[in-house]
Amino acid sequence: MRRLILPALLLVPVCALAQIIVPPMPAEKRAAFEACLAQTNRDEHAVLACLRQVDENAAAPPPQTPPQTPPPTTPPTTPPEAPTAPETTPTQAEQDYDAIYGGQQYNPVADSTLPAPAQLPAAYDPWEKLNRKVHGFNNAVDRHIAKPLARAYVAVVPRPVRLGVGNFFSNLGQPLSAVNALLQGKPKEAGQALGRFALNTTLGWGGLFDPASSVNLPHRNEDFGQTLGVWGWKRSRYVELPLFGPRTVRDVFGMVGDAPLAPIRTIQDDTTRVFLQGLQLVDVRTQLMAVDSMREGATDDYALVRDAWTQRRNYQIFGDRAPQGASNEGLPDYLQDDDDNPSVPADAMPVMPTDGR
């Protein structure tokens, strides 16, 4: 009992001291005092410090904001003129340039020393609406029939055998190229085509091998459509034929003119002729696999095929008739000669054979 009485007696002076130290205060000061006291360890020093801080904050005068006066109204005036940029003295380099070129400002767009931009001939395609429908049909046939056959052919037949097949069909077209070269007034090219045919047929085992390239006899690919172009039929309507691909009306007539001279068409045995024609179609589609990657990312596949084929065809007809000493360095890769670009063959365009060549 004595142990409980002694602490109780000690609480009396402590409570009295608290009443003296913490007198009654307004609600705002009491809230500030309690907020300050909550951040301390609540001993007597902290209590005195919080009281002192609350009293100082209460005694400080509140900040006064200056009265806002409306801006004086002034009559509308005209806007001041923009300051002119100060004249700068030209540098020594600018003075030297003016002394050399007469003070003319250089304009890279109107520079007369730059070469003229390349002018690529546009395709004459008034039948575009119909041609696009035929192009869609040809793509469906290629996607479901021709391309799977070409992939199977590449997977099954070894590469040396495929090269021999390609050489064989290429060699068969040389006599027809020689005839058209003569009709175009190119006897040298005609002689090269005949010499190539004779050499590859004899020493090349019927054209399976290509010894003519080893003796620098170039490959020639001339047809009657090119002959008509050389004779003056320069511009012709673009047309895409079902299964045969891009043509022009001029090339359709040329295809008819070449048909009687096509070697495979002269074979009387139907089984042999159909087999050789089917093998030739598969061989051509295999060569066209080189341009499949170019067509995959095209926004407009029809326009790409049409323009590329037209440019290539124009070069085949008129490219070798350029002025003496003219350079072909500005041409795209697919328009270059075979010797300049051996990775892309001359017929690496989406054109199917029509005459057995």
Residue 117, pLDDT above cutoff 70:
no
In-domain check, residue 237? yes
In a domain, 104, yes or no: no
pLDDT over 60 (residue 42): yes
Residue with tokens 């509308």: 76
Grade residue 125 by pLDDT with cuts at 50, 70 and 90: very high
pLDDT category of residue 261 using cuts at 50, 70 and 90: confident
Cβ-in-10-Å burial (0-12, 13-18, 19+) of 22 comes to middle
Asked whether the beta carbons of 138 and 243 are under 8 A apart, the reply is: yes
Q: Is the pLDDT of residue 154 over 90?
A: yes
pLDDT in tens, 202-238: 999 999 999 999 998 998 889 999 999 999 999 999 9
Please, which pLDDT band fits residue 194 given cuts at 50, 70 and 90?
very high
Q: Are 238 and 310 in contact (CB under 8 A)?
A: yes
Mean pLDDT for all residues in the chain? 76
Section 143-167 average pLDDT: 94
114 pLDDT tier (thresholds 50, 70, 90): low
- Provide the angle, in degrees to the nearest 10, between the axes of the packed helices 301-318 and 128-141: 100
Look up tokens 């002269």; give the residue. Answer: 266
Confidence check: pLDDT of 144 > 70: yes
The whole-number average pLDDT for the span 312-340 is 59
Inform me whether the pLDDT recorded for 251 exceeds 60. yes
In a domain, 190, yes or no: no
Whether 218 and 190 have beta carbons less than 8 Å apart is answered as no
Q: Residue 302's domain spans which residues? A: 128-157+223-321
How many domains is the chain partitioned into structurally? 1
* Distance from chain centroid for Cα 262: 40
Name residues whose C-beta falls within 8 Å of residue 338's C-beta, 6 or more positions apart in sequence: 218, 219, 345, 346
pTM attached to this predicted model: 0.59
> Residue 282 domain-assigned?
yes
208 Cβ contact partners less than 8 Å away, ≥ 6 residues apart:
164, 165, 167, 168
In this predicted structure, which of 41-50, 236-245, 264-273, 306-315 has the lowest mean pLDDT? 41-50
Within a domain: 213: no
Q: Residues 333, 341: contact at Cβ < 8 Å? A: yes
Distance CA 117, CA 208 (A): 44
In a domain, residue 2? The reply is no
More confident residue, 66 or 310: 310
Distance CA(211)–CA(274), nearest Å, equals 28
Residue 152 maps to a domain: yes
Q: Which of 286, 289, 226 is nearest to 253 (CA)?
A: 226
Using an 8 Å Cβ cutoff, are 258 and 357 in contact?
yes
Q: pLDDT over 70 for what percent of the chain? A: 63
CA distance 345 to 212: 16
Q: Which range among 76-85, 175-184, 299-308 shows the weakest confidence by mean pLDDT? A: 76-85
Is the distance from CB of 357 to CB of 250 less than 8 angstroms?
no
Neighbouring residues of 158: CB distance < 8 A, sequence distance ≥ 6: none
Q: Check: CB of residue 170 under 8 Å from CB of residue 207.
A: yes
Examine residue 203 and state whether it is found in any structural domain, yes or no: no
Find residue 238's DSSP bridge partners.
248
Residues 6+ positions from 103 with CB-CB distance below 8 Å: none
